Chain A
């Protein structure tokens, strides 16, 4: 399968714990995006990488959130000291340099904070 993959697909954690999600983009795509989606809403932008450089961060990305893409391939999104309000679907997307910005999404990681 050559699509965007995310791991894990589901994560249940207790409030105050740290969690980390991984995204593997389509191999030739140099741009990678993270979005968050809550129930009944459209996805909201969190952050964006071009290769290994993090070029934009949303105000939604509080200091408890950090994202990395160390070698310009896979990316990780870490949430520290999780809160119940962090419960959401976390979506990763990637796009190619040569495209018109068609972003291809992974299946998402559903986070539930108890």
Chain B
């Protein structure tokens, strides 16, 4: 079963704009991760944020985590056409535990 949902389900923006996608989850977590998936391909790990962290940056990516609201957001700044993909959040409840994924946001970046 899915842990939660990403919002929006689909997002279309122009190159150079920022893209923000949100993830909500249902249970207490240890870590939250974001992954990118190009159509029909495997998942690429983007960033991991631990439950005791509130914000994390990696290049053009900024992730926030609000454990009181059980939600996270992924911001991609200065988007590029190559960012076109589906983005998934995934949570775990321990260091060695399985990941539980959301339903994904499909991002389309147009020139």
Is the pair A43, B43 in contact by a Cβ cutoff of 8 Å? Answer: yes
From the candidates B2, B30, B48, name the one contacting A102 in the complex (CB within 8 A): B48
From the candidates A42, A45, A48, A110, name the one contacting B104 in the complex (CB within 8 A): A42
Nearest chain A residue, comparing its CB with the CB of B1? A44
From the candidates B30, B33, B88, B96, name the one contacting A31 in the complex (CB within 8 A): B96
Residues in chain A near residue B45, CB distance under 8 A: 102-105
Given contacts A101-B92, A107-B41, A107-B42, contact A42 B101 (CB under 8 A): yes
Size category of the A interface is 20 to 34
Residues in chain B near residue A31, CB distance under 8 A: 96
B-facing residues in A35-51 (Cβ within 8 Å): 35, 40-45, 48, 50
From the candidates A44, A101, A104, A105, name the one contacting B97 in the complex (CB within 8 A): A101
- Interface residues as binary, A83-114 with B (CB distance below 8 Å gives 1, 0 otherwise): 00000010101010001111111111010000
Is the pair B96, A105 in contact by a Cβ cutoff of 8 Å? Answer: no
Nearest chain B residue, comparing its CB with the CB of A50? B96
Is the pair A100, B99 in contact by a Cβ cutoff of 8 Å? Answer: no
Residue from the set A42, A93, A95 with the largest chain B CB neighbour count within 10 Å: A42
Nearest chain B residue, comparing its CB with the CB of A106? B42
B-facing residues in A43-76 (Cβ within 8 Å): 43-45, 48, 50, 56, 58
A33 at the interface (CB under 8 A from B): yes
B100 at the interface (CB under 8 A from A): yes
- Interface residues as binary, B33-67 with A (CB distance below 8 Å gives 1, 0 otherwise): 10100001111110010100000000000000000
B contact set with A: CB distance below 8 Å: 1-2, 30-31, 33, 35, 40-45, 48, 50, 88, 90, 92, 94-104
What would 16 A/B residue contacts be, using CB atoms closer than 8 Å? A31-B96, A41-B104, A42-B102, A42-B104, A44-B101, A45-B98, A48-B96, A99-B95, A100-B48, A101-B48, A101-B92, A101-B96, A101-B97, A107-B41, A107-B42, A108-B42
